[in-house]
């Protein structure tokens, strides 16, 4: 028996029952905290709510046209693009009377057309003519180029081609950019996009060359939308494949035209010599941008699996990488 001094209050001692009760409570608390953490864990990372105030880009696809792809072979861009469009039913299936068409070119660099680092001006002029012949009331051409836009449009020949064929040239300026958030996107959240170029536009056509790209492995239809992005966009090079997927989610085009008559197979995306080019004799026209890029990858000696952005875009629902499943319409211009 213990002696309890009157000068000191009795000390509480934990008995076995108390110990078990407290241990059980502590265990339940820890277990509950862990379970809550597990339930709240989001493996996809933080998601931003779509800002109700932000603008959104329309869907320019033509639902009744469905998902189609045509692959024309030959040496002449004019003949092959016409043949591919004819195989798809003609440009009239996509551009109707009264349409206002925006053509997104690749005018990233102030380089000569011979380097094929930018959209071929003759191809641009032909597509513009075709749009007008189909009844378009206006055709505009734009790109937020990497180098100075005026120099890019002038030296690439795109400016002259646009103007001589009757298209309006939209040179990016501050007032044309608005912040947008793309649902399902990892990076295009409250980010400036060349939104003003879409004002009144009812159809969107992308025309891009097939190029090697030091960072992403390839620059084709989906990467071409990079030229709609403003701000300090080079930060997205750190996760380029995910960003290209975001671009494919942002833009739902009427058509993409992938120019592989020559492909820049090395030292892309700028190239620097005709020695970086290979004649690959192919023009791809598709309503499915993922399928177009999957088909274009072979022109660079790659497979779709070599280019992670293709699988990412497909998983995000932007199209299919199995372009053969679309039963490509193959034509030759001899």
Partner 1 sequence: MRRTGIAETCIGILILALLAGITGWVYFAQSLFDPGFYSVSLREEGNGSYRKNSLPSPGSGPASALIPENLIPMGPEETFDSETLSDKIDGKAELYLSSGFVKLRARRFVSKADPKSWLELFIYEMADPTKAFSVYSSQKRKDSKPVDLGVSAYATEDALFFTNGPKYFEIISASKDLGEAMTSLAKNLVEAEPKYTEQQTEASLFPLESLDESSISLHMSDVFGFSKLDRVYTASYGVGVAQVTAFLSKRESAQEAADLAAAYGRFLLENGGVEAGEIPGAPDSRIYKVFDTYEVVLHRGKFLAGTHEVDNMESAKDVASRIYGKLEEAGR
Q: Considering the complex, what minimum distance in angstroms separates the CB of residue 81 from partner 1?
A: 24
Q: CB burial class (10 A; 0-12, 13-18, 19+) of residue 64?
A: exposed
224 close to 107: Cβ distance less than 8 angstroms: no
Taking CB under 8 A as the rule, does residue 164 contact partner 1?
A: no
If binding is defined by CB under 8 A, does position 43 make contact with partner 1? no
DSSP-assigned letter for residue 26:
H
Residue selected from 4, 21, 24, 28 as contacting partner 1 according to rule CB under 8 A? 21
Q: Tell me if 27 contacts partner 1 by CB under 8 A.
A: no
For strand 277-286 and strand 255-264, is the pairing parallel, antiparallel, or unpaired? antiparallel
Q: What CA–CA distance (Å, rounded) separates 78 from 165?
A: 14
Pick the piece of the chain touching partner 1 (CB under 8 A) from 86-94, 121-129, 170-178, 303-311: 170-178
Q: Which of 25, 133, 173, 330 binds partner 1 (CB under 8 A)?
A: 173
Nearest 5°: the CA angle 52, 55, 59 is 115
Among candidate residues 77, 67, 69, 68, the one with its CA nearest the CA of residue 282: 77
Q: If binding is defined by CB under 8 A, does position 262 make contact with partner 1?
A: no
Tokens for 233?
């966009």
Question: Judged by CB under 8 A, does residue 306 bind partner 1?
Answer: no
- The distance of closest approach from Cβ of residue 32 to partner 1 in the complex, given in angstroms and rounded to an integer, is 13
Closest CA to 134 of 82, 173, 177, 199: 82
Taking the alpha carbons of 65, 67, 72, 78 in that order, is the dihedral positive or negative?
A: positive
Site string for partner 1, 63-102 (x = CB under 8 A): ----------------------------------------
Minimum separation from the CB atom of position 95 to partner 1 (A): 28
Contact residues for partner 1, defined by CB under 8 A: 12, 18, 21, 40, 45-49, 108-109, 111-112, 114-115, 144, 146-149, 155, 172-179, 187, 189-192, 194, 213-216, 219, 230-235, 237, 240, 266-270, 272-276
């Amino acid at each position: 028996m213990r002696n309890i001094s009157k000068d000191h209050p009795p000390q509480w001692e934990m008995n076995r029952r108390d110990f078990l009760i407290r241990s059980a409570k502590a265990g339940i608390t820890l277990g509950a905290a862990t379970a809550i953490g597990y339930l709240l864990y989001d493996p996809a990372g933080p998601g931003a709510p779509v800002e109700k105030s932000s603008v959104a880009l329309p869907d320019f696809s033509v639902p009744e046209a469905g998902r189609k792809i045509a692959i024309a072979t030959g040496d002449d861009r004019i003949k092959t693009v016409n043949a591919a469009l004819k195989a798809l039913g003609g440009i009239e299936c996509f551009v109707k009377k009264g349409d206002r068409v925006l053509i997104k070119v690749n005018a990233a660099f102030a380089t000569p057309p011979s380097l094929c680092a930018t959209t071929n001006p003759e191809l641009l002029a032909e597509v513009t003519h075709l749009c007008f012949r189909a009844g378009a009331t206006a055709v505009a051409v734009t790109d937020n180029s990497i180098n100075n836009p005026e120099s890019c449009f002038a030296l690439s020949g795109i400016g002259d081609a646009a103007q001589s064929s009757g298209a309006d040239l939209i040179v990016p300026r501050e007032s044309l950019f608005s912040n947008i958030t793309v649902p399902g996107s990892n990076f295009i959240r409250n980010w400036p996009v060349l939104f003003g170029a879409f004002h009144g536009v009812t159809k969107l056509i992308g025309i891009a060359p097939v190029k090697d790209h030091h960072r992403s492995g390839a620059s084709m239809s989906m990467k071409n939308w990079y030229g709609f992005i403003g701000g300090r966009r080079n930060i997205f090079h750190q996760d380029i494949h995910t960003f290209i997927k975001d671009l494919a989610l942002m833009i739902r085009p009427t058509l993409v035209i992938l120019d592989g008559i020559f492909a820049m197979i090395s030292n892309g995306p700028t190239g620097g010599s005709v020695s970086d080019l290979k004649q690959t004799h192919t023009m791809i026209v598709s309503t499915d941008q993922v399928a177009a890029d999957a088909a274009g990858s072979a022109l660079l000696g790659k497979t779709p699996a070599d280019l992670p952005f293709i699988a990412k875009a497909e998983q995000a629902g932007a199209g299919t990488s199995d372009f053969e499943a679309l039963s490509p319409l193959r034509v030759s211009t001899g």
